[in-house]
Structure 1
Amino acid sequence: MGSRLTAQQSDFATAVRDFAKRECGTRERREELTRGGREPHNPTIYGMLADLGWLGVCLPEEYGGAGGGLADACVFLEETSYGLVPAGGFVTTVITAKAYERFGTERQRQEVLCGATRGAVLSIAMSEPAAGSDVGALRCRAEPRADGGWLINGQKTWISNAHIAESMLLVARTGTSGDKHKGLTMFHVPMDTPGVEVRGIETMGGREVNDVFLTDVRLPADAVVGEVDDGWRQLMAGLNHERLFLAAGMLGLARRAFDDAVAYVREREQFGRPIGSFQALRHRVADLATEIECTRLLVREVAADCDAEPDRLFPREASMAKLKATETAKRVALECMQMMGGYGYATEYGMERHLRAAVVSTVYGGTSEIQRDIIGKSYGL
């Protein structure tokens, strides 16, 4: 397939694009759906996506999914992001669901994957106050109980969508060997479990991330996802998915910011002609268009490679896709804001919101600095 979409994927992209235009195609409608941009996830819209069968785009058919691959999910993410569809719960949900697909028990898969295809939001909890980029330093502790269950105590922070999730995939420390990457375990935690407290963190992007406090949380023995003390390996197995999904979303955002700015500079006149006709802006548009196209080709090629070899890790390529897409989105939004002058800062046009979304993408899911370090190490440096 390479970087080209199949006929089926092209039709799917068109269908998602049409949905976005129909259901949230105006600024007024998007403001209504997101409470003025403060809520990036709208349950009604998300339910409609579930009814269309799109939320299970890359999940197995036996759990209500469509049985597609990563490339199909990337098409969905690119187009929903471009169309500004308020489905902010999808990325964490599909990342989490893929972990259950690989490592969960059949009972866990039935509960979690079927729930995800029906519209349930899932969250994954790794980061802590002292363990962000260095996930191996986490301290949230899971201790075995006499009845075979587990007792959890600790704090997680920057946890996306925990406030709207039905359950979260928690990574906690179960072993204390000398290697910090050993002794980590994944747990299935319904959000209504006694002792789980979610507190929102206010950010420029509205309500998206949270602190999660776990105080004497009791979990049954079958809450373990995968193998005890093998959480680090299991996390690494999902990095292709996480980084690609984030890259696809930012590719869509970069396209949207670019198209909005081009529409503006075609119409805005100064000195008797459209400002886009001036060489300074025309060349800037050319450079940004080229960067977006390079990003598109990279994201689609890596997705196709991952689908062709689903059991292989692509740490270098997935990090390249995430790094390129997020940094491109940030550059595009910033330069488009500059081209629009004062109107780029006005909430009326939305470019300032594009910029806020793009800037944070270079931080979450592994910062740009971490991605560069991974890529460098892959060359033996």
Structure 2
Amino acid sequence: MYARTPEHASFADAIDAFCRAKTGTRAQRDALTQNGTEAHSPAIYAQMAELGWLGAGISPDHGGSGGGMTDVCLFAERTAYGLAPVGGYITTAVAAGPYAKFGTEAQKEKILGGIARGRVEAIAISEPGAGSDVAALTCRAVRVSGGFIINGQKTWCSNAHLADHILLVARTDPSGSRHEGLTMFCVPTGTPGMEIRGIPTLGGKEVNDVFFTDCFLPESAVVGTVDQAWKQLMAGLNSERLILAASMLGRGRRAFDDAVAYVKERKQFGRPVGSFQALKHRIADLATELDCCELLVYRVAAMADEAPERMLPREASMAKLKTTETAKRVAIEGMQMMGGYGYATEYDMESHLRATVISTVFGGTSEIQRDIIGKTFGL
């Protein structure tokens, strides 16, 4: 567990203790998530809000507890390790960034203050024809008297069904280059003309299609500057990648610890299976890789805290690539070491596998991360 300062160590220890008490058993987690079909528990989230944890990274001027990206990453990591059902946090933490950097004072008070009090926020970027190629998005926002009319479809919108608002990226001017003419909007869920439909997945209720049909948004819904959302979006995506990396660091460590505990207890041929060299060496390799991920994630978080205005595309993509791929490897190896029990829902390893495999896709696939990293070297 990373601890940059004594305060960070105390924060992490408090989260760990909370998770052991509230979400430490399968029975507790099933009761909070309708037997694992929900990724987010409003009850647990509200308790964390009361403790001030959801305000990590948000200025006290807007109801937060302060801190920086290191605090946000610690919260994401330790709640993931503790299997706390707070799936709404990632998109919420990512959405906070554009509002904090580009929002009006009224938007900051409403959105950032709401986050600190336990409200969930979501982001709508991807479309059926614009996933990895974000600049290809076609959802239109046409200016009319007093605001904009939105038409189009967004997809893979995590937590839209839980959110108070959706941070929408739409095309306001199609005449320029693909990276021009994009604008961010704050859309309250329930706005007439917006429909949210869940997409069934292996992870339960997590992602959604969002449809806009002649949906009117007032001028005050604009976040930042009209037609200038590309740079705003890139800053947000880099933060998203780092937060996702921290979350998968926690999940990967949990999968590792679960695997180690199993191979210490499981006996075959008269001895614990973990004592066989083949498994012992796997454990050694995975432990080394996870420590590398931890150093990378928190180095990038420290860089973000030292210079919040920096974009860090190379570093954020490296953290996301390395950590999600490592967490996936840990879960696959863990399932292999546990044999049939790794596939059974009696143990958590099968859920670790589902969570880590998809992490190499959302927030930009591993292939996209490699492409971004390559471009930063002028390739």
The answer, yes or no, to whether TM exceeds 0.5 is yes
Distance 2:303 2:106 in 1: 31
| Residue 108 (structure 2) pairs with residue 125 (structure 1) | no
Match of residue 83 from structure 1: 82
Distance 1:247 1:237 in 2: 16
Match of residue 42 from structure 1: 41
| Residue 228 (structure 2) pairs with residue 230 (structure 1) | yes
Structure 2 counterpart of 1:138, one-letter code: L
Distance 2:110 2:140 in 1: 25
Distance 1:173 1:376 in 2: 28
Match of residue 276 from structure 2: 278
Question: Cα deviation per residue 1:68-110 (whole Å; 9 max; x = unaligned)?
Answer: 0001111111100000000110110111011101000011111
Instruction: Report the alpha carbon displacement of residue 252 of structure 1 after superposing the two structures with TM.
Output: 0.1
1:266 paired residue among 264, 272, 277: 264
| Residue 108 (structure 2) pairs with residue 113 (structure 1) | no
Q: Do the aligned residues in 2 keep the contact of 1:195 with 1:215 (CA within 8 Å)? A: yes
Instruction: Report the alpha carbon displacement of residue 192 of structure 1 after superposing the two structures with TM.
Output: 1.1
Structure 2 counterpart of 1:233, one-letter code: K
Question: Cα deviation per residue 1:350-375 (whole Å; 9 max; x = unaligned)?
Answer: 10100000000000001000000000
Match of residue 31 from structure 2: 32
Over the matched positions of the two proteins, sequence identity in percent amounts to 63
Match of residue 6 from structure 1: 5
Match of residue 358 from structure 1: 356
Q: Do the aligned residues in 1 keep the contact of 2:3 with 2:9 (CA within 8 Å)? A: no
Question: Cα deviation per residue 1:287-330 (whole Å; 9 max; x = unaligned)?
Answer: 00000000000001110011111111111000000001100010
Distance 1:141 1:6 in 2: 46
Match of residue 213 from structure 1: 211
SS at 2:130 equivalent: coil
CA RMSD of aligned residues (A): 0.8
Distance 2:50 2:211 in 1: 33
Distance 1:180 1:140 in 2: 13
Instruction: Report the alpha carbon displacement of residue 148 of structure 1 after superposing the two structures with TM.
Output: 2.5
Distance 1:176 1:43 in 2: 40
Instruction: Report the alpha carbon displacement of residue 239 of structure 1 after superposing the two structures with TM.
Output: 2.8
**Gaps spanning 5+ residues in structure 2: where?**
none
| Residue 346 (structure 2) pairs with residue 348 (structure 1) | yes
Match of residue 53 from structure 2: 54
Match of residue 18 from structure 1: 17
SS at 1:238 equivalent: helix
SS at 1:40 equivalent: coil
Q: Do the aligned residues in 2 keep the contact of 1:196 with 1:213 (CA within 8 Å)? A: yes
**Gaps spanning 5+ residues in structure 1: where?**
none
TM-score by length of 2: 0.99
Q: Do the aligned residues in 1 keep the contact of 2:88 with 2:120 (CA within 8 Å)? A: yes
SS at 1:133 equivalent: coil
SS at 2:54 equivalent: coil
